[in-house]
A and B are shown apart, each in its own frame.
Chain A
Amino acid sequence: MSGYPPEFRESIRLVEETRDKRLEEQYPRITPEEKEKLLKRWHPDYKEEQKRKIRVGASKGELAPLEVARLLEAHSRLRNVDLDLSEPDYDVDILIIGGGGAGASAALWANYSGVPADRILIATKLRFGDANTKMAQGGIQAADKDYDSPIIHFLDVMRGGHYTNNPELVKILVTNAPFIIKWLEDLGVMFDKEENGDMIEISGGGTSRYRMHSAGDYTGLEIMRVLMDEVLNRGINILEFSPAIELLMDDREQVAGAVLMNVETDEYIIVRAKATILTTGGFGRLHIQGFQTTNHYGATMDGVVMAYRVGAAIRDLDSVQYHPTGAAWPIQIAGQLVTEKVRGLGAQLVNIEGEQFVYPLEPRNVVAAAIIRGCQAEGRVEARQ
């Protein structure tokens, strides 16, 4: 309590005072018509003026959030810059752009498959390992218990995706998952285990079996730091604070490396590569429509933009996942997720007066819209710093 400013303390008092009363009451579910109205008026994905058609490139005409469209259409940083590509600074077999879990895994598997460590280069915008992987606290799913199977995992994934997922990809996910957990266990990841070595597995959102493996509250951090340690052990080259700013193409218009920039010296670095792998992550840090994000500081969609500029088409960029529950204040935890599980366990959503304003188990988008309505229309909660 002592860390909260006076207005918060007053609100906490109100919420506490009304708790007994609220335990008795159940906020009613709303009708499908009311839902539709609420979503159209308040849900950010329904705000047509916040999206527009992309004006250039392989996906010209497709809808994207304004922040995304703007980046896809932006001029190159290398406009009016002369670069001598004849003498690359690095000439490697594999260039990996992005130093998170995906980038580190790509480097390790390339090395396992026989590419020597000194023929692999990881280029990353921040420090190696500064990525969303580190932010993942909850856990990682794999059907590896006797009461579970890849079949049931497949069905749970399909159900979660409203039966629209690509089934071939889901098959790869559910059959590779135990294998990846085993790989991580062999690398020395400290999974939560029983004394006999059995994984302690808990329930995750939308799963019908206890399947979520964890490593304390730092599952992603633990995985990332082990992967980093292994990449360093193998002597794979890493360039930190050197984001790729443009992909390079050869005379057959195939990607053949990238131009990096050392953000501390503003030098350009030319990399020639036989294969280039993009592992740059998502766009949460574009703060679409000004919202907080659960994403790492570096998640600014750099890879998507670079790929688009060399002709790759994009898909499914028109929707953003707005998770209803997370921290908007204080700054120390702004953007951090409050897991959906708390609603499943009976948590209520209350405003600063201690009043409920939505049935807690409405779908994510409905709860999100109701919270936004509360913050924006009624001014009762500060939506964003």
Chain B
Amino acid sequence: MRSAEKKKEKGKAQGKRVVTIYFMGKKYEVPEGLTILKALEYLGYRLIRGVGCRGGFCGACTTVYRKHGDYRLYVGLACQTPVEDGMYLTQIPFVPAEKPRYDLDKISPSQSVVMALFPEIARCIACNTCTKVCPQDLQVMDAIQAILRGDLAKAARMVFDCVSCGSCTLRCPAEIQHFYVFQLVRRIYGKYIAPKAKHLEKRVKEIEEGKYEEELNKLIKGGPDLWRELAEKAQTGEEVIVE
């Protein structure tokens, strides 16, 4: 029996329908319901690039595909996208982009810094291709436009869910390297725009001054009986005093 038929048999044996996909031009039949990633492994491909966390977090498995009778080019994450009948697809192993180096402590939190490091964002032609391909459904173009208007805070919040898969960067006619732009904008927001947590600063200072040192050392010496007694108090919200 030819291998493809065997696979088909296997698919049938599991009581599942099969779909036909074309991986880098080769025709295969795989059980319906698999993700693109699982389908490739089912077919025997050993993936080094184009695979990552398998949970939709890391953006390593960007895949591009067309569908039978449809001229559009689709982009998705292979670990999250199910196979469909008539898919023509390939994995993208890497997205070429150059990360500029900067010292966050020395830059000013301004639009001009972002423009100086990424002047190409001024080339945005508002075509919205980036937004259309984003597997995280981010308003990518609007975020770039927000930066161009100088609203870094808005841009940072808009692109918080970016997984740096680079789909937008590959498709952008203005050749913007979105995921590095967004990383800078988020860090500027986190460091300079969002107000600092004063209670955090206070606690760090207390610890540095050794405020808890004596109590903690007493606790350690006290052993499990003391820990248990005081832990129960902490649970009920009673004041905890280490003597």
B180-218 contacts to A, CB under 8 A, are 183-184, 186-192, 194-201, 203-204, 207, 212, 215-216
Given known contacts A5-B33, A130-B58, A332-B56, A197 and B104 CB-to-CB distance under 8 angstroms: no
Q: Of B196, B203, B220, which is within 8 A of A178 by CB?
A: B203
**Is A208's CB under 8 angstroms from B196's CB?**
no
Could you say which residues of chain B place their CB within 8 Å of the CB of A42?
A: none
B200 to A155, Cβ gap below 8 A? no
Q: Does the CB pair B187–A226 fall under 8 Å? A: yes
CB distance from B21 to the nearest CB of A (A): 16
Q: Would you list the 7 A-B pairs with minimal beta carbon distance, nearest first?
A: A197-B195, A188-B187, A188-B190, A188-B191, A159-B231, A155-B231, A163-B224
Asked if B34 contacts A197 (CB within 8 A), the reply is: no
User: Does any Cβ of B come within 8 Å of A152's Cβ?
Assistant: yes
A197 adjacent to B197 (CB under 8 Å): yes
Question: In the bound complex, what is the Cα–Cα distance between A224 and B172 (angstroms)?
Answer: 26
B residues lining the A interface (CB < 8 Å):
33-35, 38, 48-49, 51-58, 60, 79-80, 82, 99, 101-104, 156, 160-161, 163-164, 183-184, 186-192, 194-201, 203-204, 207, 212, 215-216, 219-220, 224, 227-228, 230-231, 234-235, 237, 240, 242
Whole-angstrom distance from the CB of A323 to the nearest CB of chain B?
15
Q: Which residues of A contact B194 (CB under 8 A)?
A: 190-191, 193, 197
Instruction: Decide if A149 touches B230 in the complex (CB within 8 Å).
Output: no
* Cβ contact within 8 Å between A155 and B161: no
Name the residue on A nearest B80 (C-beta): A332
Please tell me if the beta carbons of A178 and B55 are within 8 angstroms of each other in the complex. no
State the Cβ distance, B36 to closest chain A Cβ, in Å: 10
Across-interface contacts of B242 in A (CB, < 8 A): 151
Q: In the complex, are the beta carbons of A218 and B104 less than 8 A apart?
A: no
CA distance A187 to B102 in the complex (A): 12
**CB of A135 within 8 Å of the partner chain:** yes
A175 in contact with B197 given A158-B231, A190-B189 (CB within 8 Å): no
Contacts of A151 in B (CB 8 A): 212, 215-216, 219, 240, 242
- Closest B-chain residue to A145, C-beta based? B199
Q: Is A83 an interface residue (CB 8 A)?
A: no
Check if A186 is an interface residue, CB within 8 A of chain B: yes
> Complex: how many Å from CA A218 to CA B55?
12
Expressed in whole angstroms, the minimum distance between the Cβ of B212 and any Cβ of chain A is 5
Which of B48, B57, B198 is in CB contact (< 8 Å) with A197? Answer: B198
Are B163 and A233 touching (Cβ within 8 A)? no
Instruction: Tell me the complex Cα distance, A233–B106, Å.
Output: 12
Contacts A156-B234, A190-B186, A232-B101 given; indicate if A175 touches B53 (C-beta within 8 A). no
Instruction: Decide yes or no: A134 and B53 within 8 Å by CB, A150-B216, A186-B191, A331-B38 being known contacts.
Output: yes
CB contact between B203 and one of A144, A188, A190 (< 8 Å): that residue = A144
A222 to B187 CA separation, bound complex (whole angstroms): 10
**B48 contacts A241, C-beta separation under 8 Å:** yes
Task: Say whether B53 contacts A135, CB under 8 Å.
Answer: yes
CB-CB < 8 A to A225: which residues of B? 164, 183
The answer to whether B234 touches A187, judged by C-beta atoms less than 8 angstroms apart, is no
- Give me 26 A-to-B residue pairs in the complex whose CB atoms sit less than 8 angstroms apart, sorted by A's number: A126-B60, A144-B203, A144-B204, A151-B215, A151-B216, A152-B234, A154-B219, A167-B219, A171-B220, A174-B216, A185-B196, A190-B186, A193-B195, A197-B197, A198-B197, A198-B199, A208-B231, A208-B234, A226-B190, A229-B187, A233-B102, A233-B104, A296-B52, A331-B34, A332-B82, A333-B56
Q: Which residues of chain A from 124 to 154 have a CB within 8 Å of any chain B CB?
A: 126-127, 129-130, 134-135, 142-146, 149-152, 154
Interface string of A278-303 (1 = CB under 8 A from B): 00000000000000000011000000
Contact with B along A189-202 (1 / 0, CB 8 A): 11101011111000
Complex contact A178–B207 (CB within 8 A): yes
Q: Closest chain A residue to B201 by CB distance?
A: A182
Compute how far the CA of A364 lies from the CA of B187 in the bound complex, rounded to whole angstroms: 38
A5: which B residues are within 8 A, CB to CB? Answer: 33
Q: For the complex, what is the distance from the CA of A144 to the CA of B198, rounded to whole Å?
A: 10
Q: Contact: A185 with B53, CB < 8 Å?
A: no
Say how far B194's CB is from chain A's closest CB, in angstroms. Answer: 6
- Chain A 300-340, CB-CB to B under 8 Å as 1, else 0, gives 00000000000000000000000000000011111110000
Does A235 interact with chain B (Cβ within 8 Å)? yes
Residues of B within 8 A of A27 (CB): none
Expressed in whole angstroms, the minimum distance between the Cβ of A355 and any Cβ of chain B is 25
Kindly list chain A residues whose C-beta atoms are within 8 Å of the C-beta of B198: 196-198
Central interface residue in B33, B57, B102, B198, by most chain A CB within 10 Å: B57
The answer to whether A189 touches B190, judged by C-beta atoms less than 8 angstroms apart, is: yes
Q: How far is the CB of B170 from chain A (nearest CB, A)?
A: 17
A269 at the interface (CB under 8 A from B): no
